[in-house]
Amino acid sequence: MKILFIGDVMGKPGRKAVDALLPEIKKEYEPDFVIANAENLAHGKGITKQTLDELLSSGIDFCTSGNHIWAKPEGHDILAQKNSPVIRPANFPPNVPGVGIKVIPVGARNVLVINLMGRVFMKEHLDCPFRTLDAILEQYKKEKPAAIIVDFHAEATSEKNTFGLYADGRVSAVLGTHTHIPTADERVLPKGTAYITDVGMVGLKNSSIGIEYEGILKTFLDQMPGKFEIPDHGLVFFNAVLLDIDTKDCHARSIARIQRDIEI
């Protein structure tokens, strides 16, 4: 089974880039299932019905998210829908809208998608992602999904690396998101789990993680709040990974980075 996972889609430039590039990427690689991290869809923070509809109409099958998913009120409503195509990190408190895991039929097989969030350098006080993963795998051990994909939304590279090794052999892939900077450490771990510290983003390439850099620069220079803007146009960096999963044992055969530039 081939699964395409697209990094954090950042605002309108990111949505436009996905719409422009995904058809040709799907034609070239023929993935069975396409996932994207959608927490930054609506001008960099959160989602709305309109921005989610745009992404889904571009050919995305399912979405993960992270800490910014709560930034727009519409996001709460979207997550609360019974058949929502978006999940939030599973280690948030259980009373918040949405779910952090979902089983998705892909052809005749099922894919278990898990969203978890790290705790190092993050302001939220969440349950332990390591123990949450244990509980989820115990819950779904009888279902024997063909693939188990984990979006690990975290800041610290050490936490991501440790989590990947902890999950090795028990899930098909651990894919880091959140920092928007693609890492060059994609590999299949010793026990069969595909891993990358951060997939990267789909957002403005010459920017500060997708945001116009002048506002960020002001904050660095004088420690005063800056105005963070995302222009509607520019050179966009598209980052994703392609997974090849052996559905017989749920292990990864390979993981490969896909990178494209496009002027929006």
Beta strands in the chain (DSSP E): 2-6, 8-9, 33-37, 62-64, 101-106, 109-117, 147-153, 173-177, 187-188, 194-196, 201-204, 235-246, 251-263
Active-site position among 68, 178, 180, 251: 68
- What Å distances lie between residue 217 and 128, 133, 187, CA to CA? 34, 38, 34
Output the 3-class SS for 209-223.
CCECHHHHHHHHHHC
Q: Which amino acid is at 9?
A: V
Catalytic annotation on 153?
no
Helix (H) or strand (E) holding 133: helix 129-139
Structure tokens at 184: 């060059």
- What Å distances lie between residue 36 and 95, 100, 120, 139, 142, CA to CA? 25, 15, 23, 25, 27
Catalytic residue positions, numbered:
68
